[in-house]
Chains A and B, each alone.
Chain A
Amino acid sequence: MNPAFWLDLPLIFAVLMGAAILAYVVLDGYDLGVGMLMPAATDAEQDVMVASIGPFWDANETWLVLGVGILLIAFPAAHGQILGALYLPVAAMLTGLMLRGVSFELRLKAKGWHAELWNWLFWFGSFLASFAQGYMLGRYLTAFQPGFGSMLFSMVVGAALCGGYVLLGATWLILRTEGELQKKAMAWTKWGLLWVALGVALVSIGTPLASEIVRDRWFDFPRTLALMVLPLATLAVWLWVWTRVGKSDWHPFAGAVAIFALAFAGLAYSVFPYIVLGGITIWEAASHPSALKVTLFGVVLVLPFLIGYTVFAYRVFRGKAKAGLYGH
């Protein structure tokens, strides 16, 4: 049997990369979101918030490494083009992630005004990383066109993603906290939902305007009618989350994740099979099959193990977060 028929390696890796990016966005999204919410909480509440994300952030960020790693290994030509075009936003994101990462430790261990500084940097790092990621997405969707229009659109996407992460963070806190902080989280969720609604609307209008390819994909009757399922489903979930706040601990988070998944599906549809919009496709960008086969072997071997133990870690630390948990 000729493997080429049933083993479309570039396609498999594209799906894996997409899954890794979605996993990253949802997982690191909630902890970046919590980071952005810090200024709205008291000192004691801040400690509980950090405790709710402390055991997970390392593992969450590794999905980013997996996503970018697959881009590097499976689609090296695209990796070079994309990261070359996104040079400064990538550097900004990495700076944000670095600052946020070390602030976890340093805000507890530094003394005096240093501790205050690292607390602020925890927020700033979370914001910088989130905004930079959204900006990168905007630039990617406009196929890295130069010009003010593209930059403006990218900034809108940046702000929208921050809203999305705040929604994830707030709903995560509903799940993981109780009492006063949980009530605050419910209020934050509602703000997050409004922010996301505005953001999704702007991005949905903006993307077809910014990119001809995306426009042709979506505005092609009668296909457009079928595609309307996505925005309608998103609206339905949005309404559902709004009503479930206060009535369920885990429904709001599940709903927020669903909104992200739907948005991601829309994006994937807009972009596939390009990996650089309007440029190379996934098959053109792919590595040699020998490299892909070897890498796939390792991925297939490790991924179930990895998912299993991620689930295990989330189970070990389930329940409501307590401040002392991360005060190690």
Chain B
Amino acid sequence: MDTLLLSRIQFAANISFHILFPTINIALCWFLVYFRLRRGAAQDKESAQGWEEAYFLWTKIFALTFALGVVSGITMSFQFGTNWPGYMEKVGNIAGPLLGYEVLTAFFLEATFLGVMLFGMERVSTRVHILSAAMVAIGTTLSAFWILALISWMHTPTGHVLDGNVLIAGDWVKVIFNPSFTYRLTHMLLASGLTASFFVAGLSAWRLLKAPQDAGALRTLRAGALVAAVLAPLQVLVGDLHGLNTLEHQPGKVAAMEALWKTQKGAPLVLFAIPNEETRRNDYAVQLPKMASLILRHDMDAEIKGLEEFAPDIPPVAPVFFAFRVMLGVGVLMLAFAWAGSWILRRRVPRWLLWGFAAMTFSGWVATLAGWLVTEIGRQPWLVTGILRTADAAGRVSEAALGASLAGYAFVYSVMLVAYVVVLTHLAREGAEP
């Protein structure tokens, strides 16, 4: 296997593993602030106890998730140097400060306040305790701001200037607020919200299946379902806007997402197909005529550029196409569950619904990872669109060393992921003891 592909797989494995945990925690922290506030505002004993148990249980889950995010995040900061030296060489003067700000403002806020938030309940006042939780939440959200600014710049670079052979920032405002930034940031923050909502709802449902009287779990199930019901339609809207923005700035990626090989007016929406890279056609295609033009350009006869316009610089089509459909499919499922579930939960808590929510616990992970695969694979062969190709950024590590490190990471990550899920489901099932 060639070393470039190995390096790409390794980076993808590292960053995919890492993203699982902040995606939950960015929003979960805000949930914790909410649970803590509800505990403070509770009027009767049952309510107070329920919210308090919820707060303690979910704090434990947050801490476990945070530990996994931290350790995999540390690995990320080394990946750039070990595997992609060309990246820092060419665009380091822009990537560096943005990565630095992510680390400085966010990571450090979290790490210092987290200790107080997790262990300080008896040692600090209620106000300081809630404030610490809010600081951690702000920290994680800020972290998303900086890293998404960098990632978006890699997709739609603006504000840069050439200095000799390398890039430097000409205008930091243009660098940060590049064309795709606000869309991608909002899309990701909503993704975190949805992931955490289904995570909370699912694990609460899991608990209720064992202990239907658990007051805390019932409250958190309803909270998760309701937040999801509000966020899901917003995400549909933002996702659409993000797609339109991508059409404007990265039309090649959209062509891959829709498996549109030829430029055409009235482009069909391909529901399912096996894209054939050799023949540059879709085999076994099931499609709706003109619908892609309608969705993308709001005009059934509008012209959509096909992959042929961007050859030979086109991304691998099949992964982008399928990942996009997975993301959309899970998204629709989330919307249906959130709306139907919230409605039903107003009056009753049927067991079949609990099983349903439990099954949807990690739906956010699936959708979020699928979405990231779409956007990152969709950007290939570019690492920074139009400026740096992925192939030109790779380092010269031997195949043996790469194979060893990839195998090592894959093994450790698998073990940690399994352990995480096992402990999580056990914790959720047994409930909290404060």
* Residues of A that sit less than 8 Å from B by CB: 54-56, 58-59, 61-62, 64-66, 68-74, 76-77, 79-84, 87-88, 90-91, 94-95, 97-99, 101-102, 104-106, 109-111, 114, 118, 287-288, 290-291, 294-295, 298-299, 302, 306, 309-310, 312-313, 316-317, 325-326, 328
Contact = CB atoms under 8 A, between A and B. Distances in A.
Contacts of A105: 63-64, 67, 423
B419 A102 contact: yes
Contact of B71 (A80, A98, A313): A98
Among B89, B92, B405, B426, chain A packs the most CB atoms within 10 A around the CB of B92
Given A291-B97, A295-B96, A313-B115, A80 B70 contact: no
A102 B68 contact: yes
B71 A97 contact: yes
Given A83-B78, A306-B108, A56 B115 contact: yes
Contacts of A58: 66-67, 70, 111, 114-115
B77 interface: yes
Interface residues of B, number: 67
Given A65-B74, A313-B115, A326-B119, A74 B89 contact: no
6 contacts: A76-B88, A77-B89, A98-B75, A101-B67, A295-B100, A317-B120
Contact of A98 (B72, B166, B172): B72
B289 interface: no
B425 to A, nearest CB: 11
Given A58-B66, A58-B111, A102-B416, A65 B423 contact: no
Interface in B57-116: 59-60, 63-64, 66-68, 70-75, 77-78, 80-82, 85, 88-89, 92-94, 96-97, 99-101, 103-105, 107-108, 111-116
B75 A94 contact: yes
B169 A294 contact: yes
The list of the 10 closest CB pairs from A to B, nearest first, reads A80-B85, A83-B81, A73-B96, A291-B93, A76-B88, A76-B92, A98-B71, A101-B71, A55-B115, A309-B112
B412 interface: yes
Which secondary structure dominates where chain B touches chain A?
helix
B298 interface: no
Contacts of B1: none
Nearest to B70: A58
B138 interface: no
A140 to B, nearest CB: 14
Interface of B: 56, 59-60, 63-64, 66-68, 70-75, 77-78, 80-82, 85, 88-89, 92-94, 96-97, 99-101, 103-105, 107-108, 111-116, 118-120, 123-124, 163, 166, 168-169, 172, 395-397, 401, 404-405, 408-409, 412, 416, 419-420, 422-423, 426-427
Contacts of A56: 115
Given A58-B67, A102-B419, 10 more contacts: A55-B119, A58-B115, A59-B111, A61-B70, A74-B96, A80-B395, A98-B71, A288-B93, A291-B96, A299-B100
B73 A65 contact: yes
A316 B59 contact: no
Nearest to B14: A94
Contacts of B100: 69-70, 73, 295, 298-299
Contact of A88 (B75, B89, B123, B401): B401
A94 B100 CA distance: 20
B81 A82 contact: yes
A213 to B, nearest CB: 23
B419 A110 contact: yes
Max chain B CB contacts within 10 Å: which of A55, A68, A328? A328
B67, B74, B115, B166 interface centre (most CB from chain A within 10 Å): B115
B104 A328 contact: no
A106 B112 CA distance: 22
Contacts of A82: 81
A106 B101 CA distance: 31
Contacts of B82: 83-84, 87, 90-91
